[in-house]
Structures are given as C-alpha cells and as structure tokens.
Amino acid sequence: MGRLGKAGWVTLIVMLALLILPPVLLWSGNEFYLLLATRLVILAIAAVSLNLILGYGGMVSFGHAAFIGIGAYAMGIPVYHEFYGGLPGVASTNGFFQLALAVGLSALFALITGAISLRTKGVYFLMITMAFGQMVFFLFQSLSEYGGDDGLVIEQRSELPLVSFDNPLSLYLTSYAVLVAVMLLVWLIVNSRFGMVLRGAKGNDQRLITLGYNTYLYRLTAYVIAGVIAGVAGFLMANFASFISPDMMGWSRSGELMFMVILGGAASVIGPVLGAAAFVVIQEVLSSWTVYWHLPFGIMLILIVLYGRGGVMGIISGRGSAHRRPDE
C-alpha cells in the first residue's frame, strides 16, 4: 500500500471526500447535505479529541460533552449580552474573543475536574467525569437568564475577519480546516515523546511510574488538551445551530461521543472521524424510517462491540486488534 499504509490511505480518501462532496452537493442544490456534513465535521472534532484521552490515554471519560457545552455557551452568552445588555465586560460578537473564552474556560474546567478525576481509575473515573459533566448540565439548566432548559437562540454568529459564518459553505470549510488541524495535532502528539508516555501509561501505568514518569501529570495534560479541542468544537456547534441549550452537554451526548470513538476505532486518528460519519448518517437514515431509531441503533452498537473490535478502522485494516499498528 505504499508509504502511507492503509490508515493513511483511508485518511486521505475520507478527508478528500469531506472536502469535495459537500460543496458539490451544495452547488447541485442539496444544501441539506452540507448542513449534515457540517454537523458531522464538528462532532468529528470532538470525537478526535475524546480519542486522544480514551483511545490513546485509556481514560474513559463520560463527560466529554460538557466541554462542547462550555464552548457553546462561551460563544452564546457574549452575544446575548451584546443584544440584551448586562455584563458589559463579556458582551461581544467578536469571534476571537468568544473563541478565547471557550478555550480558556474549557482549559480551566478540564484542569480542575481532571486534577480530581484522574486520581481515580477505570469505572470510578467514568462515574466522576460523568458527575462533573452533569454538574455543568444542571448549572446551565438552572440559569434562567440564558433560557434554562429551553436554551437560547443566538442572535448573531461570531464575527471573524475573512470568513462569514452566516454563509453555510464558509462555516463548513472553516470547520473542516479546524478538523484537519486537530487531526494533525493529535497525530503529532501521539507520536511524540509525550505520546509515548501517554500510550505507555495506558498499557502499564505501574511500569511507567517505575521508570520515573509522573504519569498523572501527563494524563492531566492530555485531558486539558482534549477538553480545549472539544471546547472549540462547541464554539463551532453554537455557530452552526445558532442555538444553545443544556441538551448539548447531557450525559447521553457524552455517550454518543464515546460511541463514535468506539464505532470508528479507538487508537487511530481517522477512526473517530469515521465513527462520527457513521453516527450522523445512521442516525439520519434510521430516524427517517422510525421515531424509535434508538433501538436499532443500540443493537448495532452491541454488535459492533461484540464482533467488530477495533471499530470500522479495525475492519478496514483486517480484524484490527489493539496490538497491531494500523499501518501493518
């Protein structure tokens, strides 16, 4: 398969298809597919970030959607105050300001909750991350000024130089560029010395500690990086939907992100993108057939976990087990 290897070719083909297909569909009069693809790409950003900690770091976080919520509210709340007054220090429609807020708050939340959660392992880590996620969920649900449970319509999308998010194609291509950048970043990280320690600690924490690594700090760093990336995904999601609500960050949303990572195949950079694509497409198709789409969806998930270890990427690279490198 040449120097790229199977995973490389899959990545190339999928990313080219995502670059070309949606604009072509838009020009042929199917704007719906562009919107579908935008949602796909934004979810893929969050899934790739979750995979950094879940697939490579072995941290099964059940609260990752909280970062999407934080990023989304960091975009929406400044717009709300710009239009309806109050909190003059925060009011803004400037995209850079909102993005900085999203990144800063996600990082802070990841640092605090990560520092506590990472003292636990396995199922306890899963429960505590879920608890922190639900904490944020209920916090925003209780903020009646921002619509509480009903959410908040965003009056104006982020203002940035050169791109206009009011143009669906422009928003799509920006999200796509962010996805490519995030994939490249994650790929670099997992292959770096930092990534070696992160993956090593996943495989055998005790061994890495015995070698002199403070694995806790490495995990925490990865957790913060992943949280920030998901926060950026939330910023984009708020721009895409022009609407924010606590529903974006409930535990079932976190579950969906986990589903994407597992479905696509953890421990490969393209896997979660495939997972997000499969998730969005399957959800779309099934929900057009029946309102009870969750049921066949759940059955599929069980089948994949039982028989398709390594997810879609595992199937492509030939019954991928965790002990094989994707390019073998």
Per-residue DSSP letters for 33-65? HHHHHHHHHHHHHHHHHHHHHHTTT----S-TH
Rounded distance between C-alpha atoms, residue 126 and residue 60, angstroms: 6
Taking the complex as a whole, the smallest distance from the CB of residue 206 to other proteins amounts, in Å, to 6
- Hey, what amino acid is at 194? F
Which helix (DSSP H) or strand (DSSP E) does residue 5 occupy? helix 5-27
* Residue among 75, 34, 45 nearest 238 (CA): 75
Q: Which of 97/213 has CB closer to other proteins?
A: 213
With respect to other proteins, which residue has the nearer C-beta, 53 or 278?
A: 53
Q: Is 195 in the site for other proteins (CB under 8 A)?
A: yes
Which residue's CB is nearer to other proteins, number 11 or number 175? 11
Rule CB under 8 A: say whether 235 interacts with other proteins: no
Asked whether the beta carbons of 26 and 217 are under 8 A apart, the reply is no
Count of residues engaged in binding other proteins, rule: CB under 8 A: 28
Shortest spacing between CB 218 and other proteins, in angstroms: 7
Does 209 contact other proteins by CB under 8 A? yes
Closest distance of CB 185 from other proteins, Å: 8
User: How far is C-alpha 293 from the chain's CA centre?
Assistant: 22
Give me the phi and psi of 243, to 5 degrees please.
Answer: -160, 135
Residue 221 in contact with other proteins, rule: CB under 8 A: yes
Given a contact cutoff of 8 angstroms between Cβ atoms, the answer to whether 61 and 125 are in contact is: yes
- Give the separation between CA 44 and CA 35, rounded to whole angstroms: 14
Query: Is residue 319 part of the contact set for other proteins (CB under 8 A)?
Result: no
Q: Is 224 in the site for other proteins (CB under 8 A)?
A: no
| Residue with the two structure tokens 């999407």 | 68
Closest CA to 227 of 97, 113, 91: 113
3 is an interface residue for other proteins by CB under 8 A: no
Taking the least distance from each CB to other proteins, the nearer of 130 and 266 is 266
142 in contact with other proteins (CB under 8 A) = no
- Find tokens 């390019």 and name the residue: 327
Q: Tell the smallest beta-carbon distance from residue 208 to other proteins (Å).
A: 7
Q: Does 199 bind other proteins (CB under 8 A)?
A: yes
Strand pairing report for 152-153 and 243-244: antiparallel
Residue 33 touching other proteins (CB under 8 A)? no
Whose Cβ is closer to other proteins: residue 196's or residue 282's? 196
The stretch among 18-26, 49-57, 164-172, 195-203 that binds other proteins (CB under 8 A) is 195-203
User: What are the residues binding other proteins (CB under 8 A)?
Assistant: 188-189, 191-197, 199-200, 203-204, 206-215, 218, 221, 322-324
